[in-house]
Amino acid sequence: MLSRAGVLLLRQGQEATAIATHIRSSYSSSSRRDQEVHATTVLCVRKDGQVVLVADGQVTMGGTVVKPNVRKTRKIGESTIGGFAGATADAFTLFERLEHKLEEHTGQLTRASVELAKMWRTDKYLRKLDAALIVADRHQSLQITGNGDVLEPHDGIIAIGSGSPYALAAARALIDLPGMDALSIARRAMGIASDACIYTNDNYTALHIDGEGKIAEVDLKASGSSG
């Protein structure tokens, strides 16, 4: 007979499965370029003033893993972090443009992101770039698309890439659990994504923003409790 905690986890697992199914259906029914699924998983979790951005390290070409430890997260300027899915060179070009926009707009992430999205959509060169971006600072988490969208999640959770339905569903199921901080949620959700998605491994790189806005790299496997 299941304990009360066991029943709660079972219900959360069922909820996560339902969310993942809905998200996969949404992806498959969309023909927009920003909905193209890149072979990776990047997840951003915001809870109780803490932000964790984590990505796996796998690069796949066709059915072959060509590199297991690519870094898909980076610091942007003094107070912003970013993660990407897609072509590395394209993503870094976009991050450089975003950094310039942050300098222009004195660190205002939303304004800088909107300006980048406009450029990405309309510029003859930039609109050919193949990437999806997550950016975050102490106050906001945003997804930027090549269609000119700047999206802020209602629950502080964003995921992109082929494993994103699993990571997003798991993080949403865990977000309200007591005793689970942003690191614990990100660790558990990425573990589920890497188990379910063949294009996602467990060579994670993760960046953390604390309540004071300080950015640090964290070892997702070693830090915190197992949740």
| pLDDT band at 61; cut points 50, 70, 90 | confident
| pLDDT band at 185; cut points 50, 70, 90 | very high
Q: Which pLDDT score, from 0 to 100, does residue 2 have? A: 47
Indicate whether 31 pLDDT > 50.
no
Helix axes 164-174, 182-196, angle to 10 degrees: 140
Q: Which pLDDT score, from 0 to 100, does residue 3 have? A: 54
Q: Residue 30 contacts by C-beta under 8 Å, 6 or more apart in sequence?
A: none
Give the residue-averaged pLDDT of 30-52: 78
From the list 196, 223, 176, 199, the residue with the least C-alpha distance to 45 is: 176
Q: Are 180 and 226 in contact (CB under 8 A)?
A: no
- Averaged pLDDT of the chain: 86
Say which residue, 24 or 80, is predicted with more confidence.
Answer: 80
Indicate whether 59 pLDDT > 60.
yes
Distance from C-alpha of 165 to C-alpha of 91, rounded to nearest angstrom: 21
Q: Which pLDDT score, from 0 to 100, does residue 34 have? A: 41
How do the domains of the chain map onto residue ranges?
4-218
Indicate whether 172 pLDDT > 60.
yes
DSSP the chain: ---HHHHHHHHHHHHHHHHHHHHHHHHHH---GGGPPPSS-EEEEEETTEEEEEE---EEETTEEEES----EEEETTTEEEEEEE-HHHHHHHHHHHHHHHHHTTT-HHHHHHHHHHHHHH-TTGGG--EEEEEE-SS-EEEE-TTS-EE--SSSEEEESTTHHHHHHHHHHHTT-TT--HHHHHHHHHHHHHHH-TT--S--EEEEE-TT--EEEE-TTTSS---
Residue with tokens 């640090």: 216
Q: Which pLDDT score, from 0 to 100, does residue 72 have? A: 97
Give the residue-averaged pLDDT of 181-187: 97
Q: Are 96 and 74 in contact (CB under 8 A)?
A: no
Catalytic residue flag (residue 21): no
Indicate whether 54 pLDDT > 80.
yes
State the catalytic residue, choosing from 40, 41, 60, 205.
40
Q: Which pLDDT score, from 0 to 100, does residue 62 have? A: 82
Indicate whether 10 pLDDT > 60.
no
Is the overall model pTM greater than 0.75, yes or no?
A: yes
Q: Which pLDDT score, from 0 to 100, does residue 12 have? A: 52
Could you tell me the fold of the domain covering 4-218?
Glutamine Phosphoribosylpyrophosphate, subunit 1, domain 1 (3.60.20)
